[in-house]
Amino acid sequence: VVDIRKLYAEADVFTYDPGFTSTASCESKITFIDGDAGILLHRGYPIDQLAEKSSFLEVCYLLLHGELPNAAEAEEFEKTITYHTMLHEQFDRFFQGFRRDAHPMAIMVGAVGALSAFYHDSTNVEDPEQRMISSHRLIAKMPTIAARAFKYFRGQPFVHPRNDLSYAENFLRMCFSVPAEDWVPNPVLTRAMDRIFILHADHEQNASTSTVRLAGSSGANPFACIAAGIACLWGPSHGGANEEALNMLKEIGTVDRIPEYVQGVKDRRYRLMGFGHRVYKNYDPRATVMQKTCHEVLAEVGHSDDPLLKVAMELEKIALSDPYFIERKLYPNVDFYSGITLRALGFPAEMFTVLFAVARTVGWIAQWKEMIEDPLQKIGRPRQIYTGAPKRDYTAISKR
């Protein structure tokens, strides 16, 4: 094995790779992607099998610990997570500081970062026990924070978590019930929510995960690192794409307007949101499961004739047979159908990326832990190629 870092340091050279298209920043045992074949494995298990047979909390355990839990471990893990779902009472006051119409993602960035102020011991990242407690707290509290961001955005009272419900049931209840009201979970919709969480749980070294690793490489506390990941996820080229994909479908509106819209993409006036991926040059395996889930949810809520679904399916058909998209290997990604599905579940577009953040938290924290536990870990410090002015002398303001 060649230690490329030593080799480069001795030769005083480095690679120039904008966007890190061909640079591996770490070794990882968590997630494997074969972009050409459209394969995604978590700890070796195919994503479609996990989405079909597993539950989100089981996938969380798998990502964190490397193996699926046995029955006793699964029960213990669920107990641990539900133990941490509450937020400190002072958190309510923190929420009140946001503008009434604050974007829920803006609240998420602030609120998750603010968890560092509540758990001082989390700064001791060298302690494995602290790392695990922080991981559990994050997985447990993210749905509570996300539901509060949603309720605040809607101007409705907060609903506290209920620990006798499953992860997805509890989250949907916190979002869609009102305090003291009976809320009956719908099994099709809660299963769909759980599956959406599974599909977004991890995706190796994407922009937000790399951000979390980079922030964590300085020894920053895990809540601050996850807040950095949420900020990165927000962008429309990353987690913000599901919101943009739905906006695009709305803008197209009807099937007959698709050719005109596709021409605009080819003229490079805009991109087809929910299409394309840095790594997948084939169908995103998550998109297949998401499309199926989308149909199930729409049938359950009686929206099978949703005009946006018709636009999406037709757009997909046209794009997949058009040389422009074929040549560039542009296929639907997970975000293409997730917007329509989440809308049918009752979420406004502003919440889509928030839900992505809830699900991705386990991936971020598992990758953060793996990085801290890696003996080769160093502070992340990319180099640059300087293209600015050469050395020059300071000019007094009167002479400029």
Residue (64 or 265) nearer to ligand ACO, CB: 265
Strand partners, 45: 42
Q: Site for ligand ACO (CB under 6 A): which residue of 291, 333, 341, 353?
A: 333
Q: Which is nearer to ligand ACO, 257 or 328 (CB)?
A: 328
Looking only at Cα atoms, what is the longest distance across the chain? 77
Reference 273, options 319, 306, 229; nearest CA is 319
Contact status: 275 vs ligand ACO (CB under 6 A): yes
Structure token pair of residue 226: 């996850």
Told to check if 189 binds ligand ACO by CB under 6 A, we report no
Is 238 designated active site?
A: no
Cβ atoms of 179 and 159 closer than 8 Å: yes
What's the token pair of residue 326? 């074929």
Contact flag: residue 360 with ligand ACO (CB under 6 A)? no
Q: Two tokens at 356?
A: 């992505």
Question: How near is the Cβ of 305 to ligand ACO at its closest, in Å?
Answer: 26
Exactly one of 169, 202, 243, 335 binds ligand ACO (CB under 6 A); which one?
A: 335
Q: Measured from the CB of residue 238, what is the shortest distance to ligand ACO in angstroms?
A: 4
Does residue 383 belong to the site contacting ligand ACO (CB under 6 A)?
Answer: no
Structure-token pair, residue 62: 């798998």
Check if the beta carbon of residue 333 is closer than 8 Å to that of residue 241: yes
Is residue 334 within 8 Å of residue 200, measured between CB atoms?
yes
Residues 6+ apart with CB under 8 A from 176: 183, 346
Please state the separation of Cα 56 from the chain's center in Å.
Answer: 14
In the complex, the smallest distance separating the C-beta of residue 374 from ligand ACO, rounded to whole angstroms, is: 25
Q: Report the half-sphere exposure of 201 (CA within 13 A, side-chain side).
A: 31
Q: Exactly one of 200, 203, 277, 284 is catalytic; name it.
A: 277
The one-letter amino acid at 157: P
Q: Which is nearer to ligand ACO, 64 or 359 (CB)?
A: 359
198 binds ligand ACO (CB under 6 A): no
Of residues 88 and 238, the one with the C-beta less far from ligand ACO? 238
Q: Is 265 in the site for ligand ACO (CB under 6 A)?
A: yes
Contact pattern for ligand ACO over residues 168 through 187, marking x by CB under 6 A:
--------------------
Tell me the sheet residues that pair with 33. 40
Clarify whether 120 is annotated catalytic.
no
Enumerate the β-bridge partners of residue 332. 275
Amino acid letter for position 271: R
Cα 319 from Cα 29, distance rounded (Å): 35
Q: Which residue is nearest to ligand ACO (CB)?
A: 276
Asked if residue 281 binds ligand ACO (CB under 6 A), the reply is no
Please report, as residue ranges, which positions from 37 to 56 form the binding site for ligand ACO (by CB under 6 A): none
Cα–Cα distance, 137 to 84 (Å, whole number): 6
CB atoms within 10 A of CB 349: 17
Number of residues binding to ligand ACO, judged by CB under 6 A? 18
By CB under 6 A, the residues from 219 to 258 that bind ligand ACO are: 237-239, 241
Exposed, middle or buried, 384 (CB in 10 Å: 0-12/13-18/19+)? exposed
Query: What is the token pair recorded at 46?
Result: 């195919």
Interacting positions 4-43 with ligand ACO (CB under 6 A): none
- Nearer CB in complex with ligand ACO: 216/240: 240
Radius of gyration of the CA atoms of the chain, in A: 22
Q: Does 273 bind ligand ACO (CB under 6 A)?
A: yes
| 328 touching ligand ACO, by CB under 6 A | yes
**Identity at 1, one-letter amino acid code:** V
Please choose, out of 58-66, 90-98, 220-228, 272-280, the segment that lies near ligand ACO by the rule CB under 6 A.
272-280
Q: Of the two residues 223 and 331, which places its CB atom closer to ligand ACO in the complex?
A: 331
Catalytic sites, residue numbers = 277, 335
- Interface ranges with ligand ACO (CB under 6 A): 237-239, 241, 265, 271-278, 328, 330, 333-335
